[in-house]
Amino acid sequence: MLAAALHATPAADKPDWQTPFEKGNGNTTATYAECIDYYRRLDAAYAEVTLREAGPTDSGEPLHEVVISLDGDADPASVRRKNRRVVFIQNGIHPGEPEGIDASMMLVRDYLQDKKLRQQLENLTLVVVPVYNVDGMLNRNSHTRANQNGPEQYGFRGNGRHYDLNRDYIKQESRNARSFAALFQGWRPEVFVETHTSNGADYQYTMTLIASQKDKLHPVLGQYLQQRLLPALYGGMEKRQWPMTPYVDFDGQTPESGLIGFSDSPRYSTGYAALFNCIGFMPETHMLKAFRPRVESTYALLDEVIHFVHRDAEELGKARAEADRQLLTQTLFPLTWQLDKAQVEELQFRGYEGRTKPSEVSGLPRLYYDRAAPYTRPVKYYNTYRPGVSVPKPAAYLIPQAWETIIERLRRNGVQLQRLTQDATVEVEARYIEDFQTTPRPFEGHYVHSKVELRPVLQTQQLRRGDYVARLDQPAARYLVETLEPQAVDSFFAWGFFDSILQSKEHFSDYVFEDLAAEVLRRQPELRQQLEEKKKADAAFAKDAAAQLDWVYRRSEYAEPGYCRYPVLRLMGQEQLKVE
């Protein structure tokens, strides 16, 4: 009876359903306890809502998911069988940017209580993570967002282990990220939205938008995004008096220098989602606008996303299915990307004039934006990325069972693995790490590697019973490539999970090995030729006797086989392996 009465009564007439944001004159965001309690009340009042725990976080409190289906079905497999689209909204990854937390509370309530809105859920299921970074939301304060205009109190960006969770989608070192991965893989949404607040320049917009980088999405989905989804969202927000612009990132001092499309590698939410043919969005409200319009514009965008998916459910489903189908036969995978500044669009940008004046701190010129001088003018928009390093798809990756942390991550992210039931000898492509660069300071707990150079070698390899086989004819193929190929931007090698191979465990005394090295070169004239060519090409190497001796050692039978040898092997043929 209570649910029926609420359906018939507008939310505004029910003060007990007002959120802390609404009660706090638009400058208050819910606490963690208030947020979860609000969803508990909705769950108790409405059969369409399911609130449940979805795994642990580093805070000790659970991650929650809220599922809204008109028939009350909260089972991902069942929802899929009913051919419903899934929209997945995640809030509070940076709890100092809480607009999505409050907007989603009101949005879910209104979709339950407004008959017209309820119709938008007829062919989709809505999944909401009320608060992702529970740890940071519990760390409430009023000062850490120094540049932000409200609310009065808010959470902290870092989680309980001081991780930025929007850099943890691949390495998944936080319990939060591990719980999220299981949740995401269970639902496999078509559209993923993660709410944020921006930093940076001043301009007229309240809402800016990061969408999955079109060139990094599967081409079918990239085209769908550009031709159907984004025009609808931008048009809908304009009609609602919330004009949007792409996320304001630029080369020069002010936005007039030209906007640059965000390069979302898989460490970020939208980049991670793209690995599984899911279109992702990071709405970024403007920090200098008051909290009320930031929440209201976030509400409007989430509502527009749901409306679009409802209207275009069939076409979205077709695009996703075709991308999944083509992925299974894709043969070449890009690992790195470069911005192509020869490809440029133009958009009308609503900004403020950037000027300079003497700094009261230093006395030197400082930038400020003159809000008394608004403008609308064309700016260049660079949003085309071209593949850099690409690799052909192997038939499978072979992963030694010793690398348990890698196996755990693969399984958590939906990878289908097989295990050898007996020892086997097969021809594989092994890779040796020839060179790489490493950040001089830690980033998110790691010294990250980049610009990796590999030396591939065909070898006959002895595999052991219990080793793992990850074949590429599966939905997680792209995830496998971008985590297990060392040259990928966010590979497990890049994040340092294989660093133990980069340290030699055996070596030599130079005065002893000199004679052995000379014998090696006499027996292998082709190696002698390679050495001479390297000396001609590298003047410093030609003058370094120790480096030359080490070069020969690394290519001789005396070198330890595991040093700088990447342990994940590529199976290029279709050898029949005995697997369970």
**Which residue type is seen at 241?**
Q
pLDDT score for 14: 54
Q: Does residue 77 have a pLDDT over 80?
A: yes
pLDDT score for 6: 38
pLDDT digit string (tens) for 49-62?
999 999 999 999 99
Closest CA to 501 of 391, 402, 398, 419: 402
Residue 335 lies in a domain: no
Residue 226 lies in a domain: yes
Q: Does residue 5 have a pLDDT over 70?
A: no
pLDDT digit string (tens) for 446-468?
999 999 999 999 999 999 999 99
pLDDT score for 118: 96
Q: What is the mean pLDDT of the chain?
A: 95
Q: Does residue 12 have a pLDDT over 90?
A: no
3-state helix, strand, coil in the chain (%, to 5): 35, 25, 40
Q: Are 318 and 412 contained in the same domain? A: no
Q: Are 272 and 413 contained in the same domain? A: no
Q: Does residue 1 have a pLDDT over 70?
A: no
Residue that finishes a domain, picked among 328, 343, 378? 328
Q: Are 23 and 115 contained in the same domain? A: yes
- Burial environment of residue 534 by CB neighbours within 10 A (0 to 12, 13 to 18, 19 or more): middle
Q: Are 196 and 64 contained in the same domain? A: yes
DSSP 133-148: -HHHHHS-BSSS-TT-
Residue 219 lies in a domain: yes
Q: Are 541 and 406 contained in the same domain? A: no
Range of the domain at 410: 393-505+562-571
* Percent of the chain residues topping a pLDDT of 70: 97
pLDDT score for 380: 97
CATH code assigned at 20: 3.40.630.10
Q: Are 306 and 402 contained in the same domain? A: no
Residue that finishes a domain, picked among 287, 313, 328? 328
pLDDT digit string (tens) for 204-238?
999 999 999 999 999 999 999 999 999 999 999 99
pLDDT digit string (tens) for 181-212?
999 999 999 999 999 999 899 999 999 999 99
Residue 219 CA to residue 231 CA, distance in Å, equals 17
Q: Are 203 and 291 contained in the same domain? A: yes
**Which residue type is seen at 543?**
K
Residue 215 lies in a domain: yes
Residue 381 lies in a domain: no
The three state secondary structure string of 528-565 is HHHHHHHHHHCHHHHCCHHHHHHHHHHCCCCCCCCCCE
* Average pLDDT over every residue of 30-39: 98
- Burial environment of residue 118 by CB neighbours within 10 A (0 to 12, 13 to 18, 19 or more): middle
Residue 258 CA to residue 403 CA, distance in Å, equals 45
Residue 339 lies in a domain: no
Q: Are 466 and 535 contained in the same domain? A: no
Band of pLDDT at residue 574, cut at 50, 70 and 90: confident
* Average pLDDT over every residue of 491-516: 95
Q: How many domains does the chain have?
A: 3
| Neighbouring-strand partners of residue 286 | 198
| Neighbouring-strand partners of residue 347 | 379
Tokens, residue 403: 């690398």
Q: Are 94 and 62 contained in the same domain? A: yes
Q: Are 441 and 527 contained in the same domain? A: no
Residue that finishes a domain, picked among 328, 348, 366? 328
Residue 373 lies in a domain: no
* Average pLDDT over every residue of 431-451: 97
pLDDT digit string (tens) for 384-421?
999 999 999 999 999 999 999 999 999 999 999 999 99
Q: What 3-state DSSP class applies to 203?
A: strand
Q: Are 412 and 521 contained in the same domain? A: no
Q: Are 279 and 170 contained in the same domain? A: yes
H or E segment and range at residue 181: helix 175-187
Residue 489 lies in a domain: yes
